[in-house]
Amino acid sequence: MKLDLLRDRIAGAAENMAADFLLLKRAPASRARFRHYGWRAPAFTFGYSQPLAFIRSQLPPGESFDLCRRATGGGLVDHRDDWTYGLILPRGHALEEMPATQSYQLVHEALAAALVAQGVPAVLKPVPPEPPASGLPAGVCFQRAETFDVCHAATGEKIAGAAQKRAKQGMLFQGSIWKAAVGATIDWEHYGDDFAACLAATLGAEAAPAPWPEEVGDDELAALTEHYASQEWNEAR
């Protein structure tokens, strides 16, 4: 199997979420795809099932943000100082067929290995002996680490989290690394190369740079971006 390493793109929140979803909808049967992307403006994204009223109560007051609901689950993610990526696996790949907790663990093991290669003591949060008690609000990413999140071995801070969506075409894995929790100045471009190599090994794939897929066309992307930016989409739950 091939792992296409797509070029970095910078866009607004609605376009970034639309692009990830279209890559899932147009996923070829014989290829996986990986991309890192940036944000045109300060942005937050939130999980598919989260109520917008709760999300608004968690945003910093007095500031404006690019805000968009994701097609994946998970919590509210602050993208103002993160390293964001998407991984798309075709239907039938071994990782796509695993339970969500297992695929989450394996992708985060690859992510942590790439951080360790940069000198960051990254570890996965183990399965707890019993559910933790916490007074922190549910559904806010990086406030606390859950099982198989990536954490800093020395400080205990959560470094990386992710969310998944499965469809008939395959699986979308959207992840975020909180740069402030990394605790070191690293070469993020080099990190991206290391992470891609670790992912390729995990997937049993051959990684190579690839252009933006022709089947994910500008017109369809623009139409879906408009949908993701709409009040109907963001207030639907």
- pLDDT of 44 strictly over 60: yes
- pLDDT of 135 strictly over 80: no
Residue-level pLDDT at 185? 87
- pLDDT of 137 strictly over 50: no
Residues 75-99 have a mean pLDDT of 96
**Whose structure tokens read 């979420």?**
17
Residue-level pLDDT at 127? 81
pLDDT tens for each residue of 58-69: 999 988 999 999
pLDDT tens for each residue of 90-104: 999 999 999 999 999
- φ, ψ at 178 (rounded to 5°): -85, 110
Q: Where residue 144 falls among pLDDT bands split at 50, 70, 90? A: confident
Q: Which residue has the higher pLDDT, 39 or 142?
A: 39
**Whose structure tokens read 């290391």?**
194
Closest by Cα among 160, 209, 228 to 21 = 228
Residues 155-181 have a mean pLDDT of 96
What domain range is 205 assigned to? 2-234
Residue-level pLDDT at 136? 45
- pLDDT of 140 strictly over 70: no
Residue-level pLDDT at 143? 67
pLDDT tens for each residue of 169-225: 999 999 999 999 998 889 999 999 999 999 999 999 999 999 999 999 999 999 999
| Contacts with 4 (C-beta within 8 Å, 6 or more apart), sequence order | 31, 32, 33, 34, 208, 209, 210, 213
- Residue 210's Cβ-side half-sphere holds a number of Cα atoms within 13 Å equal to 18
Helix (H, G, I), strand (E, B) or coil at 215: coil
Q: What is the largest CA-CA distance in the chain?
A: 50
Total number of domains constituting the chain? 1
CATH value at residue 69:
3.30.930.10
Structure tokens at 123: 């570890």
Residues 17-25 have a mean pLDDT of 97
Q: Where residue 47 falls among pLDDT bands split at 50, 70, 90? A: very high
* pTM summary value: 0.93
Structure tokens at 110: 């690859």
